[in-house]
């Protein structure tokens, strides 16, 4: 947290508590994304090629191809669920942080309580 001094209308200086939070910076680079996409593409093409050139009947190769398709789609679904969970936990963490900052900003330890 940083503090900033501003002159009020009455000419006195008030200390205002300001928070500076930056949006999270993505940690993956373009090169990493390209590498991951190429790796995925090459692996899928290699498995399809291997299944196509297996000795045996067409129904066996078709069964293996469907199994591979199921694994690939399940991987996409799992990665989406993990991403959604991480985004939800980040939002909850941010809301908790804002509540704490508001509570700390409103708390004045030097405020004198007048007893009636």
Domains of the chain, residue spans: 28-105
What residues have CB less than 8 Å from 104, skipping those under 6 apart? 17
Alpha helices in the chain (DSSP H): 30-52, 58-106
Q: Distance between CA atoms of 104 and 116, rounded to whole angstroms?
A: 27
pLDDT tens series, the chain, 116 aa: 444 444 444 444 444 455 555 655 567 788 988 898 899 999 999 999 999 999 989 999 999 999 999 999 999 999 998 888 888 887 777 778 888 888 888 877 777 777 76
User: pTM value?
Assistant: 0.53
Q: Quote the Cα angle for 3-8-12, to 5°.
A: 90
Cβ neighbourhood burial of 87 (10 Å; 0-12, 13-18, 19+): exposed
């Amino acid at each position: 947290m940083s503090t900033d001094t501003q002159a009020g209308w009455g000419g006195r200086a008030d200390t205002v508590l300001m928070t500076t939070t930056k949006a999270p910076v993505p940690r993956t680079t373009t090169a990493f994304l390209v590498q991951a996409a190429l790796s995925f593409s090459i692996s899928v093409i290699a498995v399809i090629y291997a299944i196509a050139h297996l000795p045996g009947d067409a129904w066996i190769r078709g069964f293996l191809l469907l199994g591979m398709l199921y694994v690939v789609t399940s991987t996409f679904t799992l990665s989406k669920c993990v991403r959604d969970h991480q985004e939800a936990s980040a939002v909850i963490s941010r809301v908790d942080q804002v509540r704490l900052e508001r509570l700390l900003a409103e708390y004045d330890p030097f405020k004198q309580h007048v007893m009636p």
